[in-house]
Structure 1
Amino acid sequence: MKSPTIRRWSMIHTWSSLVCTLFLLLLALTGLPLIFHHELEHLLGDAAQLRQMPAGTAHLDLQQLVIEAQKYRPGEVVQYLGFDEDEPNGVLTITAATAGTEPNSSHTFMLDARTGEPVAMPAANGGFMMLMLRLHVDMFAGLPGKLLLAFMGVLFIVAIVSGTVLYAPFMRRLDFATVRHDKSRRLRWLDLHNLIGVVTLAWALTVGVTGVISALSDLVIAAWRNDSLAAMVAPYQDAPPLTERAPATALLSIAERAAPGMRADFIAFPGTRFSSEHHYAVFMKGATHLTSHLLTPVLIDARTLQVTAVGERPWYMDAMGLSQPLHFGDYGGRPMQILWAVLDGLTIIVLGSGLYLWWGKHRRTGEAKA
């Protein structure tokens, strides 16, 4: 007979698992292609393809690229320019109707830094990969969808912890990795469910915690805006609206002098959620693989081009920056991607077997009562 403590843990494990399982199956299935999104984008022809030019061809300055972007998307303004080490001759460009337009209503493309030629990026604006990303991130429901998925992630963590507690006394009766092939099919699946669950324990906790942090990204950014960014732009609180701004030509060199040893990750233009109405914000990153995910904002007066602040990184922004690539296995190249995909597939088996075990037990209980 089960002790009261074990019964409580069993109830916690059962119901936390049941509530979140369908959502987690959705996340696991959509997460598989996202692990290999770079490769799939090239395979599907959705990746930006820059034309071949002689090595060492000079780049246009940033203001020329801004002008080319606005020609390509007339009536829109540039929100962000991003820089990718995998494509040094390309500048990721995001435009929208206004600087404050929310991200899902913006348009993303790449500019050839040598010619200003725009190159379409279908995966960033629609198609299969964007469908997978939106389902995985917010289920096309915006912030409410993200908060719901964050709650499901918390339940997933509870299910993992409670499952570990339940597995400990189970292990005292059987050797580790035992699968009782001579028993009923349900017991064989129970043994496999427990075995795969404990093998994937550390990974599942990692993905669960980083998933919750990523799902709360909008709240994390809002906290940063209300805390760190508000303090940095406080002197401009009563400043008149910006009527004209200096060209973006020298922004990178100005930011590199303000943050030596770092390089630019992206530029947020005035009025976007990563800057203020009066500033360009150049987000600088470190040179190592780890620090390349930790961003330091350099705020530059959009009228005078004077550096007004070099921001400190609050811990919650560092947590978000480190969690998102870890969630998708972007730290260790192809071997880590393959490992993440295998563990993702094993998690799908754990989720499916958990449903099967619950349904079998529920059905037997109903038949016994009948």
Structure 2
Amino acid sequence: MQYWYKIHRWISLLCVVFFLLLCITGLPLLFKMEIHDYNMVQENMQHASLNYSSVWQHVEDGENTILTNYPNKVVKAISVQPDDGRILYRIQDKDSKKIVDARLSMGGEQVAYYPDDNTLQNWHREVVKSPFVAKFMHIMHLLHMYMGLGKGGMVFLGFMCLLSFVSVVSGIFIYEPFMKKTRFAEISHTSSAAGWFGWHKFLGIATAAWAALLCFSGVMIVVFSLGYGSYISNVKAAASQNMSPQINAEHVSLPEAISFINQQFNKKYILSIDMPDKRLNRSRYVFYLTPAQDRPTEFMGQLVFVGADGQGSMQYYTEPLPAYLSFAAASLDLHIHNHDTITLKIIWAVLDIITIVVIVTGFVGWWKRSANVKRNNSNGYFPVEALPAKSIWQIPVLVFVLSVAGMVFPLYGTNGELVGAVMLFAAIIICLWYWYKRK
């Protein structure tokens, strides 16, 4: 137990500032879509939703509309957001040689095309009610993802997520020895430090499963980001070696390439396309595909290179995604795609605030504790006899199960979101009830 206690204490002290940073910056980011929509000046932002199967049927119309309105630009990459009814085109000046990539959201100027009313919206020139709010949300995103330090900051925060995960898990291991004579949700008043630690143990075990999954999925986000970048580089190199130089997109129109991909990969959705560009030595279409399902993984795409020879014979080259990337992407969904409804966001906000309290109470309790403070149980506040393990773990295990279910079920559609909200809400209510009962 002393071994786990030392791990918990010293690792927690190492990552306390960064864990707190992630919790604080994550709080406003929970409501980023609601804040963004509220802060927008443009009217008529609601457009008819589409699906991945039909949205690409409008891509040529969108391209023609953009080239009409931006005659000095060329389309370099295309991606879609069917739920919002839009197709996103990355465009740049005809004489520009900067690299543009759809999946990495890199380079160029982005314009949204709405097929339902044939309108355009410049994605980088949105008119907002409050520039301060927009800037604040952007800063929160940079701090949460990169600590404002680019890819190096992302890797560092990923390491801090790993330490935070170890901190949470080690806290679970030492929970039982520290609760031998304390009922669940009881707060000691024998000393100031004991009071702070009482709240730390109670709220910490109540949010342990939720916090552990978020920390672990945070690590997987970094693994996915680094691994996916490596996968893209490897497949591009392999495509240049395995596809004949005569196989290019010179004789293939965009609709033809899309139709070919849909025939060859009828169980996958097209996420985005990088257009051919001879100036960048890119002579083929680059498609990014994901398995067809109700909620496709938007961040992960299998690369497929498409071109044709001089006689118009279509060919493609691809390599499947490594298994570890699929696992990392599934973990990423636990961090991002399982709290889409406002009810779930509010519940997550409550859990986030509680986790902040856990971090603060643990640090303050450690700061206030002195070597000569001894536990005094003579006032009868705690049971004299040690509690059995079953009594110690009965409620925490129930809260764990509800928390994990509340994070997993929302990944399975609307009904799953409702079940997940009920599960997480039930976990919070159980903790509140026992705290009220112990008072």
* Shorter-chain TM band: 0.7 to 0.9
In the alignment, is residue 118 of structure 1 matched against residue 115 of structure 2? no
Distance 1:166 1:341, change over 3 A: same
Distance 1:175 1:72, change over 3 A: farther
2:81 is aligned to: 84
1:224 is aligned to: 231
1:210 is aligned to: 217
Question: Which blocks of at least 5 consecutive residues in structure 1 are unaligned?
Answer: none
Distance 1:176 1:261, change over 3 A: same
Q: Whole-Å Cα distance in 1 between the matches of residues 226 and 264 of structure 2? A: 28
| Preserved CA contact (<8 Å) 1:300 1:309 | yes
Q: Whole-Å Cα distance in 2 between the matches of residues 74 and 291 of structure 1? A: 34
Deviation digits for residues 239-281 of structure 1 (CA, Å, limit 9, x no counterpart): 389795744233432222122143322223347xxx9933323
In the alignment, is residue 285 of structure 1 matched against residue 281 of structure 2? no
Deviation digits for residues 189-232 of structure 1 (CA, Å, limit 9, x no counterpart): 21111111111111111101110111233311133125455445
CA offset at residue 27 of structure 1?
1.1
AA partner of residue 139 (structure 1):
M
| Preserved CA contact (<8 Å) 1:48 1:110 | no
1:141 is aligned to: 149
In the alignment, is residue 239 of structure 1 matched against residue 245 of structure 2? yes
1:319 is aligned to: 327
1:161 to 161, 169, 173: 169
Q: Whole-Å Cα distance in 2 between the matches of residues 85 and 289 of structure 1? A: 12
AA partner of residue 40 (structure 2):
G
| Preserved CA contact (<8 Å) 1:94 1:109 | yes
CA offset at residue 9 of structure 1?
2.4
Q: Whole-Å Cα distance in 2 between the matches of residues 157 and 253 of structure 1? A: 45
AA partner of residue 9 (structure 2):
T
| Preserved CA contact (<8 Å) 2:60 2:254 | yes
Partner secondary structure for residue 140 of structure 1 = coil
Q: Whole-Å Cα distance in 1 between the matches of residues 192 and 353 of structure 2? A: 21
Q: Whole-Å Cα distance in 2 between the matches of residues 100 and 319 of structure 1? A: 28
CA offset at residue 76 of structure 1?
6.4
1:14 is aligned to: 9
1:336 is aligned to: 344
1:255 is aligned to: 261
AA partner of residue 19 (structure 1):
L
Q: Whole-Å Cα distance in 1 between the matches of residues 56 and 242 of structure 2? A: 35
2:32 is aligned to: 37
| Preserved CA contact (<8 Å) 1:297 1:310 | yes
Distance 1:11 1:215, change over 3 A: same
CA offset at residue 290 of structure 1?
5.2
CA offset at residue 77 of structure 1?
5.5
Q: Whole-Å Cα distance in 2 between the matches of residues 80 and 47 of structure 1? A: 25
| TM-score between the two structures when normalised by the length of structure 1 | 0.79
CA offset at residue 64 of structure 1?
5.1
CA offset at residue 343 of structure 1?
1.5
- Taking the TM superposition and a 5 Å limit, the aligned residue runs for 1:56-75 are 61-63=58-60, 65-66=62-63, 69=66
Question: Which blocks of at least 5 consecutive residues in structure 2 are unaligned?
Answer: 373-439
| Preserved CA contact (<8 Å) 1:63 1:247 | no
Give the % identical residues.
24
Distance 1:327 1:66, change over 3 A: same
AA partner of residue 115 (structure 1):
N
Deviation digits for residues 162-208 of structure 1 (CA, Å, limit 9, x no counterpart): 2112212112222222222x422321221111111111111111101
Q: Whole-Å Cα distance in 2 between the matches of residues 243 and 259 of structure 1? A: 19
- Say which one has the larger Rg: 2
What is the Cα-based RMSD across aligned positions, in Å?
3.8
Distance 1:106 1:165, change over 3 A: farther
Partner secondary structure for residue 216 of structure 1 = helix
Q: Whole-Å Cα distance in 2 between the matches of residues 324 and 276 of structure 1? A: 33
AA partner of residue 150 (structure 1):
G
Deviation digits for residues 286-311 of structure 1 (CA, Å, limit 9, x no counterpart): 44345555644433127768341354
Partner secondary structure for residue 174 of structure 2 = helix
CA offset at residue 70 of structure 1?
6.2
Q: Whole-Å Cα distance in 2 between the matches of residues 123 and 163 of structure 1? A: 47
| Preserved CA contact (<8 Å) 2:249 2:307 | no
Per mean C-alpha deviation after superposition, the further-off stretch among 207-216 and 171-180 is 171-180
Deviation digits for residues 298-333 of structure 1 (CA, Å, limit 9, x no counterpart): 331277683413542322221232233321353563
| Preserved CA contact (<8 Å) 1:283 1:298 | yes
Q: Whole-Å Cα distance in 1 between the matches of residues 260 and 229 of structure 2? A: 27
Q: Whole-Å Cα distance in 1 between the matches of residues 289 and 165 of structure 2? A: 33
Partner secondary structure for residue 172 of structure 1 = coil
AA partner of residue 18 (structure 2):
F
1:308 is aligned to: 316
| Preserved CA contact (<8 Å) 1:330 1:337 | no
Q: Whole-Å Cα distance in 2 between the matches of residues 188 and 216 of structure 1? A: 39
Q: Whole-Å Cα distance in 2 between the matches of residues 212 and 47 of structure 1? A: 37
CA offset at residue 104 of structure 1?
6.0
